[in-house]
Every structure is written in structure tokens, then in C-alpha cells.
């Protein structure tokens, strides 16, 4: 916290909303932006362009301009073929998107086994050929999200030799290896090495959950271009807005969740499916409240949507949010 009570924020550092599959869809992004402006960019869950060069209906809904109006969205592509990336990027550029993100960081085994996501990092020659193809004639600016390596943070130095040969608009680095998945501690030393080597502006991703985490990242890495939060921002949807100086209160949260509920009921054809989506959101939100985790099982086991809605509104009214300036998960010694 600053002396005037506002959350610490370095105005030169951008704030990004990370993609979370099954949570941060176009409905969530649009409504979050309305109630909690503050994110400089929202990244979509990855799209997987195939050789048939057609966006499935589900993916098309995520990127349709009318579904993202007023939201600064960056579509993310998961592929190992330059021709598939360029086709999709061309389609997205025609829709008005000015930047496209290449996913070289997803650690899922089903993804990496196909040589996609963080699987690209296992063969730097193949990664270079992919980037050669992409940057030969990109229809829009291209940013990249990566990991430190496959098994060791020491791999990042060799990866930076590859990335530095291309005009990458921005490099987001999740400070873990693919083998770590989302467990274990981020390798902050290896991230610092990568940032020092990078010719592109760097965004930090990995275990940032609170304003205190973001402050410590900014202090440890002067000149850091951006930070990216996913679960931490769903847990505290007002975090970026407060860091920008706004003061949304409990009624804003209730209105935000009510509008999400109504939108999901309309989109999914009824309250049963809407309840499942809202449960996923609440599962990430409850740790952001004092004693919130004690209610997680109860909320998760509720089968009647009326009971679920009543309980969720009660929690919104009664639970006290944790101090957004508290120490988070970023680890000691930062």
C-alpha cells in the first residue's frame, strides 16, 4: 500500500489478463471490462488453427469482433506450422486485431506431445524454422508466450538466442519450465537472465496473485514491460482497477456476478450449465476472501441452481475480501 492508501502501481508497466480455458471466454472478458476497467490487454484462450483452415463455431465466437467490442483483446494461436499460423493471423487481422500471440508455453502433455506449445522448445531448430515462416510476412504484430525451457531454466539463454533474431512485439515468459507444469517455484533468477538478454519488451507471468506480488516483481526487475495475471485476477477481479486508482466496492462485485449469471444462462440455454461455469469462477474467487475456502466444498456440492444462486449472493454480501496489498504467492527473497 502507498501512504495515501492506494495500491502500489508503476504506471510504465502494463497489466495483462492471462487466458484461462473455461473461464475467461468472450462473455467474461466483456463483462469484466465493463465493471473493472484496468487491464491493458486480455489474451484469449488458445485457438488451434488446423490444416482445413476453418475456425470452429466455438472459436469463432471467442474472436468475433462483435463479441469483443471495447475490449483490448489479443488472440493466441497454438500451432507448429507457419502456414497455419499465417492463415489464422490473416483472418484475425482482417477482423481488426493488431497483434497475434504465439503460444510456445502451454505445458499440457497432450499439447507438448504434438510438438506444440512448450513442446516447441524441445527442438530449437524447428522453433527457428517456425519463426522464419511466421516473420517472413506477418499480417499483424506477433508476440510470443514462452517458458524458460523444457526441463531447466538454464535453457533460456539458448532460447533467447533464437527469439532475439526476430522482431517479436513482446515476449511473455512464464518463469517455469514445461516439466514443472504449474507446480514448484518460478525460477526468478533465470527470468532475470532472460530479461537482460531480450531485445523485445518482456512480460512476467507466474504466481502473481496480489498487488504486493506485482510490486515485488517491479522492484526486482526495473524496466519490466508488463505483468500477466490469470488466476489471481479472477480471484480478485477488481485488482487492476484498484491499482489504477478506482474503488469498486461490494455492490460492483454483486452486479458483476449477477450479469455474468444472466449472460451464461442466455448463452448456455439455461441455469444448469450456467451454474457449472459460475462454480468454476467461484472456485478461483473464494481463496480471495477471508475464510472463503471453507465454503468451497459447500458451493461445489450444490446441485440446485436456486440454492447455488442464493448461496453465492450470500457469500458476496457477507465474506470480507482479503487485503489486496497482502503478500501473495510469489515467494520469499524476491
- The string of DSSP codes covering 288-332 is GBTTGGGGHHHHHH---HHHHHHHHHHHHHHPPBPPTTS--SS-S
200 shares a domain with 54: yes
Q: Is residue 33 part of a domain?
A: no
Q: Give the residue carrying C-alpha cell 468451497.
A: 296
Q: Is residue 5 part of a domain?
A: no
The pLDDT assigned to 330 comes to 66
The pLDDT assigned to 287 comes to 86
188 shares a domain with 108: yes
Distances (CA, A) of 320 to 6, 281, 302: 18, 17, 22
What count of Cα atoms within 13 Å lies in the side-chain half-sphere of residue 319?
24
Residue 286: helix, strand or coil by DSSP?
A: helix
195 shares a domain with 92: yes
Burial of 57 (0-12, 13-18, 19+ CB in 10 A): exposed
Predicted TM-score (pTM) of this structure: 0.94
Q: Is residue 189 part of a domain?
A: yes
The pLDDT assigned to 10 comes to 72
Q: Is residue 100 part of a domain?
A: yes
274 shares a domain with 154: no
Q: Is residue 34 part of a domain?
A: no
301 shares a domain with 185: no
Q: Is residue 3 part of a domain?
A: no
Instruction: Please answer whether residues 52 and 15 qualify as being in contact, where contact means their C-beta atoms are separated by less than 8 angstroms.
Output: no
286 shares a domain with 186: no
81 shares a domain with 164: yes
The pLDDT assigned to 4 comes to 40
121 shares a domain with 67: yes
272 shares a domain with 170: no
The pLDDT assigned to 9 comes to 64
170 shares a domain with 255: no
Full residue range of the structural domain in which residue 305 is found: 250-318
160 shares a domain with 101: yes
Give the CATH number, domain containing residue 65: 3.20.20.70
The pLDDT assigned to 332 comes to 44
Q: Based on the structure, what is the number of domains in the chain?
A: 2
The pLDDT assigned to 3 comes to 39
200 shares a domain with 56: yes
Mean pLDDT by 10 residues, the chain (334 residues): 53 93 96 97 96 93 97 98 98 98 96 96 97 97 98 98 98 97 95 98 95 92 96 93 88 96 96 95 90 86 94 90 71 43
Identify the CA nearest to 162 among candidates 123, 202, 214: 123
Amino acid at each position: 500500500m502507498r501512504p495515501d492508501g492506494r495500491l502500489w502501481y508503476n504506471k510504465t508497466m502494463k497489466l495483462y489478463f492471462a487466458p484461462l480455458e473455461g473461464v475467461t471466454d468472450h462473455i467474461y472478458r466483456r463483462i469484466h471490462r465493463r465493471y473493472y476497467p484496468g487491464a491493458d490487454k486480455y489474451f484469449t484462450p488458445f485457438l488451434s488453427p488446423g490444416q482445413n483452415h476453418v475456425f470452429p463455431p466455438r472459436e469463432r465466437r471467442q474472436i468475433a469482433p462483435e463479441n469483443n467490442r471495447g475490449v483490448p483483446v489479443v488472440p493466441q494461436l497454438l500451432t507448429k506450422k507457419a502456414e497455419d499460423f499465417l492463415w489464422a493471423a490473416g483472418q484475425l487481422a482482417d477482423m481488426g486485431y493488431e497483434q497475434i500471440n504465439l503460444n510456445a508455453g502451454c505445458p499440457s502433455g497432450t499439447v507438448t506431445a504434438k510438438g506444440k506449445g512448450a513442446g516447441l522448445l524441445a527442438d530449437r531448430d524447428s522453433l527457428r524454422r517456425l519463426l522464419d515462416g511466421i516473420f517472413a510476412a506477418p499480417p499483424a504484430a506477433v508476440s510470443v508466450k514462452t517458458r524458460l525451457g523444457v526441463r531447466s531454466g538454464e535453457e533460456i539463454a539458448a532460447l533467447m538466442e533464437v527469439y532475439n533474431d526476430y522482431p517479436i512485439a513482446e515476449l511473455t515468459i512464464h518463469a517455469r519450465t514445461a516439466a514443472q507444469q504449474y507446480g514448484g517455484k518460478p525460477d526468478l533468477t533465470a527470468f532475470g537472465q532472460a530479461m537482460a538478454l531480450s531485445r523485445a519488451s518482456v512480460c512476467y507471468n507466474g504466481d502473481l496473485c496480489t498487488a504486493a506480488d506485482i510490486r515485488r516483481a517491479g522492484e526486482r526487475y526495473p524496466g519490466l514491460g508488463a505483468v500477466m495475471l490469470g488466476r489471481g485476477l479472477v480471484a480478485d477481479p477488481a485488482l487492476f482497477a484498484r491499482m489504477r486508482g478506482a474503488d469498486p466496492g461490494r455492490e460492483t462485485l454483486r452486479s458483476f456476478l449477477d450479469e455474468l449469471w444472466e449472460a451464461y444462462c442466455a448463452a448456455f440455454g439455461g441455469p444448469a450449465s450456467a451454474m457449472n461455469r459460475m462454480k468454476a469462477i467461484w472456485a478461483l474467487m473464494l481463496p480471495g476472501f477471508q475464510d472463503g475456502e471453507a465454503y468451497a466444498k459447500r458451493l461445489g456440492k450444490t446441485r440446485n441452481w436456486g440454492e447455488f444462486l442464493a448461496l453465492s449472493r450470500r457469500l458476496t454480501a457477507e465474506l470480507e475480501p482479503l487485503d489486496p496489498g497482502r503478500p501473495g504467492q510469489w515467494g520469499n527473497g524476491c
